[in-house]
């Protein structure tokens, strides 16, 4: 049976340019040979197969190159994400340092302003103080002798004079009181002078101390921000 079928197929090919094949499920396929070209369904010709094979090879090379590029891009993405994370952390740290430096600078400014107010109040208090009484001036020159006056009328009889001992005692008491008053005035003037000097000294000390704190705060600020 098989030799007969083969013979029939051979005769069919020799007698026609097409060979039609029927499938059991009703499908058909036609094999043709015209002008020296054999056409077989679901198969490519030799020249087309070579072109397709070359294209496939080029596609494989391209796919390999793209795979390598993708792997490199993935590594670059990993490195970029790590860099972004590091930069974000550094930025957060710098923002914290800046906030702390700003707070320290504002505190130093406030302390300096308070010191200026204290110094201004001390200066105002010193300005309002009454200075010590000046030394007694030199005695003036003796004036010219005046003209002799007219003789006056006889006065009434005077009262009986004080006892010399009592008069001397009163004079001593008055002299003692005058000396005590003079000492009190001297002590008051010295106290006022000492108070003024103390206030001025305290004011200068407060100002110097606040300026020193300000310089220290600013120096620490510059040190913390890297000397910029």
Does 96 map to a domain? no
Count: domains in the chain:
1
Percent helix, strand, coil in the chain, to 5, is 70, 5, 25
pTM greater than the 0.75 cutoff: no
Question: What are the pLDDT digits (tens) for 54-98?
Answer: 888 899 999 999 999 999 999 999 999 999 999 999 999 999 999
Does 170 map to a domain? no
Range of the domain at 15: 9-43
Does 38 map to a domain? yes
Q: Which residue has the higher pLDDT, 3 or 90?
A: 90
Q: How far apart are CA 20 and CA 28, in angstroms?
A: 7
Please measure the distance between the N-terminal and C-terminal CA atoms of the chain and give it in whole angstroms. Answer: 103
Does 34 map to a domain? yes
Does 159 map to a domain? no
What strands lie across the sheet with 37-39, from one edge to the other? 18-22, 28-34, 37-39
Q: How far apart are CA 171 and CA 155, in angstroms?
A: 27
Model pLDDT, residue 86: 93
Does 109 map to a domain? no
Mapped onto helix, strand or coil, the DSSP state of residue 90 is: helix
Please state the separation of Cα 228 from the chain's center in Å: 11
Does 160 map to a domain? no
When pLDDT is cut at 50, 70 and 90, the band that residue 4 belongs to is very low
Does 17 map to a domain? yes
Q: How far apart are CA 82 and CA 85, in angstroms?
A: 5
List the beta bridge partners of residue 34.
37
Cβ count near 202 (within 10 Å) = 13
């Amino acid at each position: 049976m098989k030799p007969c079928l083969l013979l029939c197929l051979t005769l069919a090919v020799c007698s026609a340019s097409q060979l039609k094949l029927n499938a059991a499920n009703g499908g058909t396929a036609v094999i043709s040979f015209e002008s020296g070209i054999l056409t077989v369904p679901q198969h490519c010709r030799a020249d087309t197969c070579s072109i397709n094979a070359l294209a496939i090879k080029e596609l494989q090379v391209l796919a390999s190159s793209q795979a390598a590029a993708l792997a490199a891009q993935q590594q670059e993405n990993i490195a970029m994400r790590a860099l972004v994370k590091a930069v974000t952390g550094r930025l957060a740290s710098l923002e914290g340092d800046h906030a702390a430096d700003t707070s320290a600078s504002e505190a130093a400014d406030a302390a300096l302003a308070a010191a200026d107010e204290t110094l201004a109040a001390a200066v105002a208090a010193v300005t309002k103080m009454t200075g010590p009484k000046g030394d007694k001036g030199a005695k003036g020159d003796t004036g010219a002798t005046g003209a002799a006056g007219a003789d006056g009328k006889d006065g009434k009889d005077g009262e009986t004079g004080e006892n010399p001992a009592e008069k001397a005692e009163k004079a001593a008491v008055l002299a003692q009181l005058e000396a005590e008053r003079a000492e009190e005035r001297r002590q008051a003037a010295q106290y006022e002078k000492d108070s003024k000097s103390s206030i001025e000294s305290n004011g200068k000390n407060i100002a110097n101390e606040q300026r020193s704190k300000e310089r220290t705060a600013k120096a620490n600020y510059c040190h913390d921000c890297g000397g910029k």
